Structure 1
């Protein structure tokens, strides 16, 4: 059966809707994630003076940095199910305001225990934000635009590193003010935008296309019909999962969570430890920030181009496998690098691989999940997957204490990305076998 050919009028309508969606939604959610990621990983810059000030060893810092993801893990699914019930506008506003408050409180930690507590509470406060936005994008963007939409949203993470690293480095060189040390100023200054933007979300965000009065009536009707036709087609598929409980038991959800585990281990290893790895070569805080931003600039470009190719070809598996394998090689290279130049080159490779894998990976859940199943499944993938953000940073800190260097920890994180590549291939082969079996059975 040949696919239906669009009329010039429908094609023009689709182009108008796509353009409006892109300009209305993407820049705003990117801004939110920019601030979110900045508040998650600025602890890597604060650590330059905070660790000594409050008595944190490398192991304690790695543990505290990773405890964010334990809080995130425990509250992720409930948070996303609440978002599905009350709408993205109210819930994302709540998330941002509470995480901003916790980030400000982080300026007043006084030792390992209070550091552990505030990192855990930051994870609790932020739970539901990332999967909530991924779910939100699936409610607005048709399937063939979804990887690019997700890529632009997730590009805010490397952009946050590229811009935030020099900014954080500059703040860390400020003299004490208002009785606050440099690392305390860093937490407070970078947390205030989250609180302010939480109130902006209440005014700006639209929950569903049916409420989008910024679309013309014909545009709104076309988008609602398009998304409904895709949902109907998905529900007619034998492998479709709609219920929350069924999604949580779906082995594909667990597989995607394990794949995401490796990419998260890599991403947050970079966020928490890259500044300290670079700093060991004798750079100032400002120089460290500028250098740490270089790999992220390259990663943003690679991420968008790779997602566009994935959407154009509608291929997801190899668009995840290849970048994960590349990031694995980059971590091995970083562990063996003996000069600052080679470390930076290795970090470029790692950043490109991790960033490029994410958008095609997040286009996969919406291929078989919908409704409450999508809310629960996406949250489960993100919550389990983000435990990699605990394992990666903790492994680096613990193994640095044991071995005196970063290499062993970098190899462990590289191994998690190799695992992601292998599981992606296994999931693809299983799906292909099930499709072939289904065709045979129908014959």
Structure 2
């Protein structure tokens, strides 16, 4: 008899890498503005609040396709949905290099957000068709590891490109890879094991059987449908946690290169890019460790709340230290804290919601929660203009992370048979 430990697991080497590279390119096109903005001032001067707006308006557009794309992925095809969005966002990313005014930059970033917005929930739906709950946090984290990996690889690359090319060319050049990778995605990805030629019968039977068990163990959706899902208190709490956490996450991410540039004075863009990669390297290790521990213990609440507390400590301590190795070490602590919750957080909705309604729930969580991606960068920029220092902005980010950690720990207690302890039991069965 084939056990779970001996079942072939080609899904880990087919689905995860292709999806990770795809989203790495999306994250590059989303976050390259953080590296490029400090070097636009000579021919495209922007105030601190304008820079925050340029980084944050992406997330206003980001919310529009969240639920529609999630529903399309669940009812039609995650593979086809992501393919179409890849083409659209690649073209929108290239358009950022063609802008001639501050308003045009805002519009280009907004449109980029619209097309990228549907990718995240569509891929989460895809992973939910390939990885049972007992593997979900690790699968999520391995895919989401593309976020810090993208920054580790692309921050130095963007810095090097800025030393040799103008910022417009960098925007255009970095919008091309998604158009190429869309071809790989089309031929490599299948929506579910039954549609993939490379899956063995044993692996197909194992995955489909485990997913059926997961669904059977969840509370029945009954006649609730989407309306009750949107009114569900746990879904609303997940939205609140995600908003607070993402406010801190993107507020830190957008302004990290600017902090490092101010630390290094006259350093080249390449040097700033390499130094920016250091905190993201620490963040990658923290993400993978926290996800594996979360799957092993089943304690999703702690895996979401504790890293945010660590990030708060780093942000507040950073206000007392300026420059040198100590400040870089604290930036690494904050990066680890804001990245580590990703895998465990996105395993939470699947613990309590059935597949037929999870698409809408994940879309809602990502759409409303990611408005924090507007709040964080803009808040730091506005407070920087107001006070002349980034310190007040980072203290404000710490406050949002504190709220997210508190709600995670005190309000998101397991309330179903597939709660934290049940996941832990599955892992030891």
Q: Equivalents in 2 of 1:42, 1:409: separation in Å?
A: 21
Compute the displacement of 1:244 (Å).
Answer: 2.7
Find out whether 1:254 has 2:223 as its counterpart. no
Of residues 317-326 and 334-343 in structure 1, the stretch that sits farther from structure 2 once superposed is 334-343
Q: Which residue of 1 aligns with 2:181?
A: 197
2:119 is the counterpart of 1:129: yes
Query: Equivalents in 2 of 1:21, 1:429: separation in Å?
Result: 31
Choose which of 257, 276, 298 in structure 2 pairs with 1:314. 298
Aligned twin of 1:293 = 277
Contact 2:137 2:344 in 1 (8 A): yes
Distance 2:310 2:145 in 1: 18
Question: For 2:156, what is the secondary structure of its paired residue?
Answer: helix
User: Residue 364 in 1 paired to residue 354 in 2?
Assistant: no
User: Are residue 275 (structure 1) and residue 267 (structure 2) matched?
Assistant: no
1:218 aligns with 2:208: no
Q: For 1:380, which of 351, 364, 374 is the aligned residue? A: 364
Maintained 8 Å contact 2:237/2:412:
no
Is the Cα–Cα contact under 8 Å of residues 215 and 355 in structure 2 kept in the other structure?
no
Is residue 418 of structure 1 aligned with residue 402 of structure 2?
Answer: yes
Q: Deviations over 1:124-151 (max 9, x none)?
A: 1111111211221111101111101111
Whole-Å separation in 2 of the counterparts to 1:15 and 1:185: 49
Shift of the alpha carbon at 1:340?
A: 3.6
**Kept after mapping to 1: 8 A contact 2:234/2:412:** no
From 12, 16, 22, the counterpart of 2:7: 16
Deviation string 1:43-62 (CA, Å, 9 cap, x unpaired) is 01211222442232111110
In the superposition, relative to structure 1, how do residues 338 and 132 fare at CA in structure 2: closer, same or farther (>3 Å)? same
Write the distance in 1 (CA, Å) between the matches of 2:314 and 2:207: 41
Q: What whole-Å deviation, never above 9, does each CA across 1:129-185 have from its counterpart, x for those lacking one?
A: 11211221111101111101111111111111111110010000014xxxxxx1112
Partner of 1:4: none
* RMSD of aligned alpha carbons: 1.8
Q: TM-score, normalised by structure 1?
A: 0.90
Distance 1:310 1:264 in 2: 20
Gaps of 5+ in 2: 420-429
What residue in structure 2 maps to residue 92 of structure 1?
82
Deviations along 1:284-318, one digit per CA (max 9) or x if unpaired, are: 21111111100111111121111111101111111
SS of equivalent to 2:316: helix
1:334 deviation in Å? 2.5
Q: What are the superposed Cα offsets for residues 348-373 of structure 1, whole Å, 9 maximum, x if unpaired? A: 11111111111111110000122341
Q: In the alignment, is the contact (CA less than 8 A) between 1:241 and 1:373 conserved in 2?
A: no
Q: Is 1:231 paired with 2:229?
A: no
